[in-house]
Amino acid sequence: MTSVEATKQRGARFGVALLFLGPAVLVLLALVVWPAIRTVYDSFYDSAGRNFVGFQNYVDMFRFERMRIAIRNSFIWVIVFPVLVTTTGLVLAVLSERVRWRTAFRLILFMPAAIAILSSGIIWRIMYETDPSRGAINALLNVPAAIINPPGNLQGTAPSTDDVILGDGGLSTTVEIGADGGVVRLGLLRIRAEDLPESTIQAADPVAAGAGTLSGVVWRDIRSGDNQRGVVEEGELGVPAVTVQVVDSAGTIVGSAGSGDDGAFSIDGLDPGTYSAVVPPAEFQGSWGGISWLGPTLITIAAIVAGIWIWGGFALLVIASGLAALPRELQEAARVDGATEFQVFRRITLPLLTPVLGVVFVALTINALKMFDLIVGIAPGSVQDEANVIALEMWRTAFTGLGNRGLGSAIAVFLFVLILPVMLLNIRRFKLDEDRR
Amino acid sequence: MRMRRWRWLTLISLLALVAAACSPSGSGDTTTPVGTTQPQTTEPPGTDAPGTTAPTGEAVEVVWVRGADHPEGQAFIAVLEGFTAATGIEVNYTGLGDDLPTILGTRVENDDPPDVAVLPQPGLLRDLVSRDALMPVSQAVLDGLGANFAQVWTDLATVDGSTYGVYFKAGNKSLVFYDVAAVESSGITLPETWDEWVSVSQELVDGGFTPISVAGADGWTLSDWFENVYVRTAGPELYAQLTNHEIPWTDPSVKTALETMGELIGNPDFVNQGTAGALQVGFVDAIVRVFGSNEAVMIEGPGDIAGIANTEVGAVVGTDLDMFAFPSIDGSPGAVLGGGDVAVALTDNPGAMALLEYLTTPEAVESWAAAGGFTSPNQNLDLSAYPDELSAAVAEGLVNAEVFVFDLSDLVPAALGGTAGAGIWGQLQNWLENPGDVDAILTELEAEAAAAFGG
C-alpha cells in the first residue's frame, strides 16, 4: 500500500476514528492530562492551596534533610537497581535456555511479579527480621553460626557476687584449699526458674568435706522477697549439669566435676593452696543476634535485594523472548568457525540483544525513580527517613496528616522532570525501531 | 515469525512505559475531584447559637474514622441512633478511614463539608478553625460541657476564646500492662514510684526476665513514654509551655526527663531486643511479645492494649493481663496523659449543634461504654456502665486524675508531632538507638520544632 492511498483512506475515515477514539481521549484528558496540569498549578500554591507562593515550594523542597536523603537514595536506586536486575535477567535467560524445563523454571522466577509490590515488601520485611528465630534470612545465616559457636546452656547469665568474674575465660573465682578442704559458691543471675531442667531442686549449701576436697555449688541466687546475694537461701534452686574446673596457678586443669540437681559438686585430690574455680566459656557462648537488615544502614541495600527478587522475573521474560527471536544462523556460523561459547555470547548474542536490554533497562530505571510501595512495605516506621525515596517523600508530604499539597505537588513535578529524559529516550528508541523496519 | 516476536516485545515495553508515565503526574492529585473551579468562599462562622433553633428534620451528615462495619463504627452508630430516637433528627454516617484529614480538608475547600465531623487529632481542630471551617458551639453545648466534663476538655476545644467541639471519647495513655503469670512467678511487687519501677526491673532482669517491651518502630509509643515522664518530672505548667513551644526543646527540664526515661528504657538490659533492636518492633508486635511469646513482662501504652492482646493472643483480662498506673516520679501527683476524639460542627444545620449537645450527656455514650473498648471523659457517666473492672479502672483514672494533660505530640504541628520517622517521633527513635546522646538529639529536635512553629 502506498502512502498516498493511506492518507486518502485516513481522511475518509477521520469521523469514524474520532467516534472511536473520543471516549479514550476524554478519559485520558480527565485522568492524566488534567491532574498533571493541576499538579503543576498546585505546586505554586501553599499547603492549603489558597495563596500563590511562586517558586517557594521548589526552594523549600531542598531545605529538608529528609528530602535530601530521599534524593540520595533515589540516585542509588537508579544507579544500582537497573544494572543488577538487567544483569540478573540476562544471566537467568541465557542459562535457562539450556534447561529442559525452562518454561516451568521461568514461570517460577516470574511469579514474584504477580504479587502486589506492597505485599512483597511485607514478605521481605518479615524475612529480614533481626532475631534469627523470626527472620528467615538470619535463621539461615544462624545455621553455620550455631555450628561454629554453639550457644551454651548458661548464655545470658551473670554472676551474683563481685568476687566471681565473668570474662573471656568464662566464669572464675579464687578458691583456697586448706587443711580441711575448701568451699566455693557460684551464684548466677538472669536465668529463669522455668528454664532450669525439671529435676532441679533446692540448692545445697556446701560444707568443707575434708582435706583435698573442694565442695561447691552452682545456683540461681535469687528468690522473691528478702534476698541476699552470695548466700544459699531457702527457695533458691541449684543449676544442674554445669562443668566446673579447678585450675592451678600455672593454668593447668587439676580437677573437674559436673553439678548435680541441687547444683552441688565436689572435686577430690587437691593439694592445699590457691586455685581458680572456672566454668568454661563455652557454657556462656551467646547465640548469634542476627544482622540488622532493616536498620538505618542496610535498609536501602535490603530493599534493592527485594527489588531484584520482584523484577528479576520480568527482566528474564523480556530478555528470553528477545533471545528466542535472535537469528540462529550467526551463532551456528561462529561455532562452526571454532568460537568458544563465551565468545559466541560476548560477540554475537550480546550485541544482537542490546535493543532488548535497552528496553528492560529503561523500564527498570523508570521503576527505580518512582519506587514507592516496596519501601512502604519493607521499611519499619523508625527507618522510613533512611529508606526514603522521592516518590515516598512526595506521598508523605502531601498525604500524611492534613498534608501539604503545594509542597507535595512540587516534589511530584520534580520527580516528573527526572523521569522525563528517560521517557524521551525510550520513545526515541521506539521510533528508531520502527524506522529500521 | 521474527516480526511477531518483536511486536510482542514492543507491546510489553509500551505497557511498561504507559504505566510509568501515568503515575508520577497522576498520583499527586488523587483526592482532588475533577473540575474544582468554584470560588473558595467560606461562610463566616455563625455568631448566633444554631442549636437553640428548633430541629428542622434535615438529616445530619456525620463523619469519623471507623467504617460502618468496624466494631467501633457500629458502636458509634448505636450512639447516633440514640440521638435520632431522642430528637427525631435523622443521621447519615460515613467512616472515612485514616484519610479523614485529607478528605475533610478537600471537602472544606470545596465548600461541601459534612455537618458534623469527629476529629481524631486536636491539631486538626486548630487547623480547621484557622480555615474558618468550624461553628462555635451553642450556649446549650457549653452548659452541657460545664455540667459533665472537667474544664480541661472545654479548654482543649477552645481556640482564641471560642469553643468549637465536644470531646466525648478519650484515651488514657498512662497505663502499664503486665503479664500476670510472669509477675507472679518472678515474685515482684508492682511499682508505685519510678524508683521502685527501676529496681523492680533490675529484679526481673536478675530473675531471667526482660522487663519491658517497647514498640520503637512506632514513634508515637516513644512520645507517649516521654510525655508521661515529662509531665511528672517537669510538671503540667512546663508541659503546657513546651507544647506551645514557649520553652525550647533544649530546656534543661527536657534533658532531665530524657535522662530519667533513660534509667528505664534507655537500659538495653531492660528492653526486649535491646534498645536499638526495639526500633524494629511495631506496636501490635510489642504487645504479642509480652502476652503471646512471653519475651517481656510489661508494656506501657493506651487502654487499647487489653483489647489487642485479647484479639491477637487471647489474653484474658485479670488472669493473663492486668495493669497498673504509670508510677509517680519523685512524689509527683497522679498524672494522666490522654488523647481524645472531638466532635465539631462544620455547617449551621441545626441538627449538627443538637447532636453536639446530645454528646455532652452521659446517656449518649452509655451503650458504647457497655460495648467495651471505650473510655468517656464524662464525669457523670456511672463507672458501672463499663463491662469489666479493668475498663472501669481506666475510666476512673482518667476522670479522677489530679493532673490531666493532652498528648503533646497531638497538639503540636503534624510535621513535629505526627510524621513517621520525623520530628518528636523520629528524634526519640534516634535517642532509643543511642540513649547517651541527649544533647545532640535535643538540639536537632529544637531545630525541627522551630521550623514547624515558624512555618
Smallest CA–CA separation between B441 and chain A, in Å?
Answer: 15
pLDDT of B14 reads: 45
Interchain contact A48–B (C-beta under 8 A):
yes
Chain A residue numbers touching B184 (CB-CB < 8 A): none
Smallest CA–CA separation between A21 and chain B, in Å?
Answer: 17
Q: How much of chain A exceeds pLDDT 90, in percent?
A: 50
List Cβ neighbours of A131 (8 Å cut-off, separation of 6 or more): A138, A289, A290, B273, B277
pLDDT digits (tens, 9 = 90+) for B103-132: 888 888 888 999 999 998 777 888 889 889
CB atoms B20 and A419 under 8 Å = yes
pLDDT at B10 over 60: no
Do B254 and B442 meet the contact criterion of CB atoms below 8 Å apart? yes
Chain B residue numbers touching A380 (CB-CB < 8 A): 217, 279-280, 282
Which of A235-239, B11-15, B207-211 has the lowest average pLDDT? Answer: B11-15
Of A160, A192, A370, the CB nearest to B208: A192
**Residues in A 229-268 with any Cβ partner in B closer than 8 A:** none
List Cβ neighbours of B359 (8 Å cut-off, separation of 6 or more): B79, B166, B168, B343, B365
More confident residue, B52 or A18: A18
pLDDT of B36 reads: 30
Chain A residue numbers touching B22 (CB-CB < 8 A): 32
B229: helix, strand or coil? helix
* CA proximity to A218, closest of A247, A181, A261, A175: A261
pLDDT of B45 reads: 38
Nearest CA in chain B to A364: B16
- Where does the pLDDT of residue A6 fall: very low under 50, low under 70, confident under 90, or very high at 90 and above? low
Residue B273 backbone class (left: φ over 0; alpha: ψ -120 to 50; beta: rest): left
pLDDT at B39 over 70: no
Nearest CA in chain B to A318: B9
- Where does the pLDDT of residue B31 fall: very low under 50, low under 70, confident under 90, or very high at 90 and above? very low
Cα B304 to Cα A229: distance, rounded to the nearest angstrom: 40
Smallest CA–CA separation between B256 and chain A, in Å?
Answer: 24
Grid coordinates representing A88? 540478573
- Where does the pLDDT of residue A148 fall: very low under 50, low under 70, confident under 90, or very high at 90 and above? confident
Smallest CA–CA separation between A411 and chain B, in Å?
Answer: 9
pLDDT of B375 reads: 92
pLDDT of B206 reads: 92
Smallest CA–CA separation between A80 and chain B, in Å?
Answer: 19
Of B8, B28, B279, the CB nearest to A382: B279
The complex scores an ipTM of: 0.73
CB atoms B29 and A366 under 8 Å = no
Q: Which of B8, B18, B27 is the best substitution to test chain A (most A C-beta atoms within 10 A)?
A: B27
Interchain contact A271–B (C-beta under 8 A):
no
pLDDT of A436 reads: 64
Cα B307 to Cα B387: distance, rounded to the nearest angstrom: 13
Report the relative pairing of strands B116-119 and A182-189 from DSSP bridges: unpaired
Please give the mean pLDDT across all residues of chain B. Answer: 85
pLDDT at B49 over 50: no
Do B328 and B193 meet the contact criterion of CB atoms below 8 Å apart? yes
More confident residue, A189 or A402: A189
Smallest CA–CA separation between B255 and chain A, in Å?
Answer: 22
Do B283 and B225 meet the contact criterion of CB atoms below 8 Å apart? no
pLDDT of B7 reads: 52
- Beta-bridge partners for B163: B158
Most confident of A116-120, A328-332, B2-6, B118-122: A116-120
Which of A170-184, B41-55, B312-326, B368-382 has the lowest average pLDDT? Answer: B41-55
CB atoms B282 and A189 under 8 Å = no
pLDDT of B79 reads: 95
Cα B301 to Cα B306: distance, rounded to the nearest angstrom: 10
Cα A67 to Cα A412: distance, rounded to the nearest angstrom: 12
CB atoms A39 and B21 under 8 Å = no
CB atoms B21 and A423 under 8 Å = yes
Please report, to the nearest 10 degrees, the dihedral formed by the alpha carbons of residues B406, B408, B409, B412 taken in order: 110
- Where does the pLDDT of residue A399 fall: very low under 50, low under 70, confident under 90, or very high at 90 and above? confident
pLDDT of B3 reads: 44
pLDDT at A12 over 70: no
Smallest CA–CA separation between B4 and chain A, in Å?
Answer: 9
- Where does the pLDDT of residue B35 fall: very low under 50, low under 70, confident under 90, or very high at 90 and above? very low
pLDDT at B88 over 80: yes
Average pLDDT value for residue range B263-287: 93
Do B385 and B369 meet the contact criterion of CB atoms below 8 Å apart? yes
Average pLDDT value for residue range A254-269: 93
More confident residue, B67 or B164: B164
Report the relative pairing of strands A158-159 and A182-189 from DSSP bridges: antiparallel
Phi, psi of B181 (to 5 degrees): -60, -45
Average pLDDT value for residue range A301-311: 95
Q: Is B351 exposed, middle or buried (0-12, 13-18, 19+ CB in 10 A)?
A: buried
Do B236 and B242 meet the contact criterion of CB atoms below 8 Å apart? no
CB atoms B217 and A224 under 8 Å = no
Rg (CA), chain B: 24
Most confident of A94-98, A182-186, B19-23: A182-186
pLDDT digits (tens, 9 = 90+) for B373-418: 899 999 999 999 998 888 999 999 898 888 899 999 888 877 788 7
Please give the mean pLDDT across all residues of chain A. Answer: 89
CB atoms B24 and A370 under 8 Å = yes
Q: Which of A382, A429, A431, A437 is the best substitution to test chain B (most B C-beta atoms within 10 A)?
A: A382
pLDDT digits (tens, 9 = 90+) for B93-109: 999 887 788 788 888 88
Cα B31 to Cα A399: distance, rounded to the nearest angstrom: 9
pLDDT of B237 reads: 94
Smallest CA–CA separation between B369 and chain A, in Å?
Answer: 28
CB atoms B279 and A380 under 8 Å = yes
User: How many CB atoms neighbour CB B333 within 10 A?
Assistant: 12
Chain B residue numbers touching A367 (CB-CB < 8 A): 20
pLDDT of A383 reads: 87
The C-alpha cell 476564646 sits at B161
Phi, psi of B165 (to 5 degrees): -160, 175
- Where does the pLDDT of residue B34 fall: very low under 50, low under 70, confident under 90, or very high at 90 and above? very low
CB atoms A394 and B28 under 8 Å = yes
pLDDT at B37 over 80: no
pLDDT of B180 reads: 96
Q: Which of A65, A402, A404 is the best substitution to test chain B (most B C-beta atoms within 10 A)?
A: A402
DSSP class of residue A316?
A: H
pLDDT of A87 reads: 94
CB atoms A39 and B187 under 8 Å = no
pLDDT digits (tens, 9 = 90+) for A223-254: 877 788 899 999 899 999 999 999 998 989 99
pLDDT of A288 reads: 84
pLDDT at B308 over 50: yes
Q: Please give, one letter per residue, the 3-state secondary structure of A206-244.
A: CCCCCCCCEEEEEEECCCCCCCCCCCCCCCCEECCCCEE
pLDDT digits (tens, 9 = 90+) for A325-364: 888 888 888 888 888 888 888 888 888 898 899 889 999 9
